[in-house]
Chains A and B, each alone.
Chain A
Amino acid sequence: MRTSTPARVGQYTALLAYLAFLAFPFLWLVSTAFKPPRELGSLHPTWIPEDPTLANFRQAFDEQPLLHAALNSLLAALAAAVVAVLIATPMAYVVARRRSRLAKAVTGWVVVSQAFPFVLLIIPLFLVLKNLRLVNSVPGLVLVYVVWALPFALWMLAGYVRAVPPELEEAAAVDGAGRLRTLVSVTAPLLAPGIVATGLFAFITAWNEFFFALVLLKTPEKQTLPVVLTHFIGAEGVADLGPLAAAAFLATLPSLVVFAIIQRRITGGMLTGAVKS
């Protein structure tokens, strides 16, 4: 199907407009992070700060333990991603390969569980973690993140597993490979991109998560970055805009880097098996 030049120009213009729309908040955040207070209150704000300053970053680091919080976030997000993938991969294999009622029920439950509001879960979850002595601990938070990420990880990985032709596994079996050998040597390498994409997705979800971290972590030295960011916001939503923007900019960077790395894999993963070859 050929597209005429005016139509193509229109498409690209629309795409550029959409990209500009998406990029606007981030670029504005970067610009704000480098503006001195007087420029923040200007009626004619500029994209590029007239008198750029690092004072907002200095103040943000002076006021709140940002590095420590970032380290907590990193630890929780990495652990959650690894554990979620380790659990979700065999589950996804079973769900994708066994066409049983159980597999269907699991898939149905996965979809339903995504509709649960946070507030419904938080109090029972809090009590359970408290009795496990895991409140105010990063392992407790990791446990919650794993449970929270599992349904989506399972759903995503199941798509990847379905995309691996069963004939390959059958051929390996014909060649004498055992079940485990087939999984390790044939299926796993083909699933690798999906595993990486799923893991990174779980990482980003955990990195950005706020509510569970707010409720579960009590002491300042345990708090994660999204929780610490709210400390720049006062009553009635008044914000210390400069330091908030500086801290938020730093908090956004890991997500951006990770997304830049995985975005092709994620779209690949979601579309795998969408059409029959």
Chain B
Amino acid sequence: MHARLLALVLLLLLAGCSSGGTRDNGRITLRFQSLAWQEESVEANKELVKEWNATHPGVRVEYVQGSWDSVHDQLLTAFEGGEAPDIIHDASDDLADFAYGGYLADLTHLLPARLKSDIPRRSWETTTFGDGVYGVPFLQEPRVLIANAKWLKRSGVRIPTPEKPWSWAEFRRITEQLSGRGKYGIAWPLKEPVSATLNLSLSTGGQLFHRGADGKVTVRFEAADQVVPRTIHAQAGTDRSASPTTLGSGGSDTLPGFFGGRYAMVPLGFSYRQQIVQQAPKGFDWQVLPAPAGAGGLTQGVSPQTLSVAEDSPHKKEAAAFIDFLLSPRNMVRLALGDWMLPTGNRALNDPALRTPEHGWAAGTALAAHLRPAPAQTVRGYPEWKDKVATPALQEYYSGAIGIRELRERLEEDGNLVLARYQR
């Protein structure tokens, strides 16, 4: 009896749920939840919304500020309650659950050919789940080496370029050469070691996740997957060329030591350049270098920022039109400049504003063609594998508490048990 009553109450509650967009006196209002947070980026987004509203009197877009910190929980609740924004800004690695859960609209037939052809297929792969496309990837950032230019020049080491990058072995030799007397060649900020390790391991041909003929994914930590972790481990533990104190830190935490001349290089996301421009002491000379390359060249994994449309939105066509407007080549450049990231669109990438050597833009743009979907992009159960298995195992490995054999056992044996639960 009680169960029936409860079911009835739930049904009544759900029946009252309505959809996202609204129509007021014939005018459609769409809610666009943006995660822009840097001053220039918020400004660019707001300006673009203003421009759209000025030129589209029939479809008004309302800018809603979201936050990266809590976007998943906030969206999940909004989806469950039928109150999701019409246009959703997120990252591609957060979309899988929402796409498979039926919360996002399939954009395959909603997007114009111009936008589809402007963004490379490898970027579309980050938002393709099953047969559908559930987001438009529009901004991405490679991991680069930010280097103390004077230090590198003084040391006489070969300066890598995207055409002639360092190999991982050369990189290890050079960081050792740059170290000594309390200074380090590199400071790895590895508070979140999994995505950094996995994404960089694509450069050595690492794959880690292997999909079988039955469609099921298993973890195999093979030789190609081990090059990057072994290098970091050796730098921190054997060569003493990587600062041991930053292994548990976030990217921003390494900056004071970098500015203070304690480390020659820090591997950071491309957008950290904004903080460097703001915070570096006057006269501090820095430059952007490509991450080392291996058997896979300069390839590395990324999870682009995306724009999606809620399945519940009654105005999907209008929402897609707004996305098309927001991601026109000119506007994509404005968004990229505001976020200090790379656009996915080919035409935007060719814009002279993003090809300037100033602040390392050109060095980063040259890497765009090498960016691939992050290895874990479509693996169900990845978040649990990451939090419960891979993060602690890699942290212990980098700190020297365990060796490569135990790391492998944990990633594979414990990891496959976790993934199996999601693939029954």
CB contacts (< 8 Å) of B70 on chain A: these are 211, 214, 230
Residue ranges of B at the interface with A (Cβ–Cβ < 8 Å): 10, 12-14, 16-17, 31, 35, 37-39, 42, 62-65, 67-70, 73-74, 77-78, 80-83, 85, 91, 192, 250-252, 255-257, 259-262, 269, 271-272, 275, 278-282, 305
Of the residues B68, B81, B279, contact of A38 by C-beta under 8 Å: B279
Residue pair A218, B31 in contact (C-beta under 8 Å): yes
Residue pair B67, A218 in contact (C-beta under 8 Å): no
CB contacts (< 8 Å) of B31 on chain A: these are 218
Of the residues B65, B68, B73, contact of A235 by C-beta under 8 Å: B68
Segment touching B, from A125-133, A143-151, A260-268: A125-133
- The answer for the CA separation of A42 and B10 in the assembled complex, in Å, is 55
A234 CB–B CB distance under 8 Å: yes
- The answer for the CA separation of A180 and B82 in the assembled complex, in Å, is 47
Known A127-B81, A215-B78; contact A240-B68, beta-carbon cutoff 8 A: no
- The answer for the CA separation of A136 and B269 in the assembled complex, in Å, is 35
Known A41-B259, A218-B64; contact A130-B82, beta-carbon cutoff 8 A: yes
Of the residues B69, B80, B255, B269, contact of A123 by C-beta under 8 Å: B80
Of the residues A127, A136, A215, contact of B17 by C-beta under 8 Å: A127
Known A38-B282, A214-B74; contact A123-B81, beta-carbon cutoff 8 A: yes
A44 CB–B CB distance under 8 Å: yes
- The answer for the CA separation of A241 and B271 in the assembled complex, in Å, is 15
27 contacts between A and B (CB under 8 A): A38-B282, A41-B279, A43-B256, A43-B261, A44-B260, A119-B73, A122-B77, A123-B77, A126-B77, A126-B81, A127-B10, A127-B17, A131-B12, A215-B73, A218-B31, A227-B67, A230-B70, A234-B38, A235-B91, A236-B192, A236-B269, A237-B250, A238-B250, A238-B252, A240-B38, A240-B39, A241-B252
**How many A-B contacts at CB < 8 Å in the complex?**
122
Residue-wise interface mask of A (197-225) relative to B, using a CB-CB cutoff of 8 A (1 in contact, 0 not): 00000000000000100110011100100
Closest chain A residue to B260, Cβ basis: A43
- The answer for the CA separation of A237 and B253 in the assembled complex, in Å, is 11
- Chain A residues numbered 31-49 whose CB sits less than 8 Å from any CB in chain B: 37-38, 40-45
CB contacts (< 8 Å) of B78 on chain A: these are 215, 218
Closest chain A residue to B80, Cβ basis: A123
A53 CB–B CB distance under 8 Å: no
Residue-wise interface mask of A (129-162) relative to B, using a CB-CB cutoff of 8 A (1 in contact, 0 not): 0110001100000000000000000000000000
Closest chain B residue to A242, Cβ basis: B278
A59 CB–B CB distance under 8 Å: yes
Residue pair B67, A233 in contact (C-beta under 8 Å): yes
CB contacts (< 8 Å) of A228 on chain B: these are 65
- The answer for the CA separation of A232 and B65 in the assembled complex, in Å, is 11
Shortest beta-carbon distance, A85 to chain B, in Å?
A: 29
Of the residues B82, B262, B279, contact of A37 by C-beta under 8 Å: B279
CB contacts (< 8 Å) of B82 on chain A: these are 130
CB contacts (< 8 Å) of B250 on chain A: these are 236-238
A170 CB–B CB distance under 8 Å: no
Residue-wise interface mask of A (226-258) relative to B, using a CB-CB cutoff of 8 A (1 in contact, 0 not): 011011111111111100000000000000000
Of the residues A63, A131, A215, A239, contact of B252 by C-beta under 8 Å: A239
CB contacts (< 8 Å) of A43 on chain B: these are 256-257, 259-262
Residue pair A130, B81 in contact (C-beta under 8 Å): yes
CB contacts (< 8 Å) of A233 on chain B: these are 37, 67-69
CB contacts (< 8 Å) of A126 on chain B: these are 77, 80-81, 83
Residue pair B83, A37 in contact (C-beta under 8 Å): no
Residue ranges of A at the interface with B (Cβ–Cβ < 8 Å): 37-38, 40-45, 59, 63-64, 119, 122-124, 126-128, 130-131, 135-136, 211, 214-215, 218-220, 223, 227-228, 230-241
Known A214-B70, A236-B192, A237-B250; contact A42-B37, beta-carbon cutoff 8 A: no
Of the residues B37, B262, B279, contact of A40 by C-beta under 8 Å: B279
Closest chain B residue to A128, Cβ basis: B13
Residue pair A240, B37 in contact (C-beta under 8 Å): yes
CB contacts (< 8 Å) of A214 on chain B: these are 67, 70, 73-74
Of the residues A37, A119, A211, A236, contact of B278 by C-beta under 8 Å: A37
- The answer for the CA separation of A211 and B73 in the assembled complex, in Å, is 9
Shortest beta-carbon distance, A33 to chain B, in Å?
A: 16
CB contacts (< 8 Å) of B255 on chain A: these are 41
Residue pair A230, B282 in contact (C-beta under 8 Å): no
Known A38-B281, A45-B256, A236-B251; contact A231-B37, beta-carbon cutoff 8 A: yes
- The answer for the CA separation of A43 and B272 in the assembled complex, in Å, is 17
Residue pair A130, B83 in contact (C-beta under 8 Å): yes
Shortest beta-carbon distance, B149 to chain A, in Å?
A: 17
- The answer for the CA separation of A37 and B252 in the assembled complex, in Å, is 13
Shortest beta-carbon distance, B110 to chain A, in Å?
A: 24
The 6 closest A-B pairs by CB, nearest first: A43-B260, A41-B279, A230-B67, A37-B278, A131-B16, A127-B13
Most buried by A among B12, B77, B192: B77
CB contacts (< 8 Å) of A135 on chain B: these are 81, 83
Closest chain B residue to A237, Cβ basis: B250
Residue pair B64, A219 in contact (C-beta under 8 Å): yes
Residue pair A232, B37 in contact (C-beta under 8 Å): yes
Shortest beta-carbon distance, A35 to chain B, in Å?
A: 10
CB contacts (< 8 Å) of B62 on chain A: these are 219
- The answer for the CA separation of A220 and B252 in the assembled complex, in Å, is 28
Residue pair B83, A218 in contact (C-beta under 8 Å): yes
Closest chain B residue to A136, Cβ basis: B83
Of the residues A64, A136, A227, A234, contact of B68 by C-beta under 8 Å: A234
- The answer for the CA separation of A215 and B259 in the assembled complex, in Å, is 39
Shortest beta-carbon distance, B60 to chain A, in Å?
A: 13
Residue pair A215, B91 in contact (C-beta under 8 Å): no
CB contacts (< 8 Å) of B67 on chain A: these are 214, 227, 230-231, 233
Closest chain A residue to B42, Cβ basis: A63
Of the residues B42, B256, B275, B305, contact of A42 by C-beta under 8 Å: B256
Residue pair A238, B251 in contact (C-beta under 8 Å): yes
- The answer for the CA separation of A205 and B85 in the assembled complex, in Å, is 28
Closest chain A residue to B189, Cβ basis: A236
- The answer for the CA separation of A49 and B280 in the assembled complex, in Å, is 16
- The answer for the CA separation of A227 and B71 in the assembled complex, in Å, is 12
Most buried by A among B16, B42, B67, B91: B67
Shortest beta-carbon distance, B146 to chain A, in Å?
A: 13
Beyond A37-B279, A232-B37, A233-B67, 8 extra complex contacts between A and B, CB < 8 Å: A119-B73, A122-B77, A214-B74, A218-B85, A227-B67, A228-B65, A236-B250, A238-B252
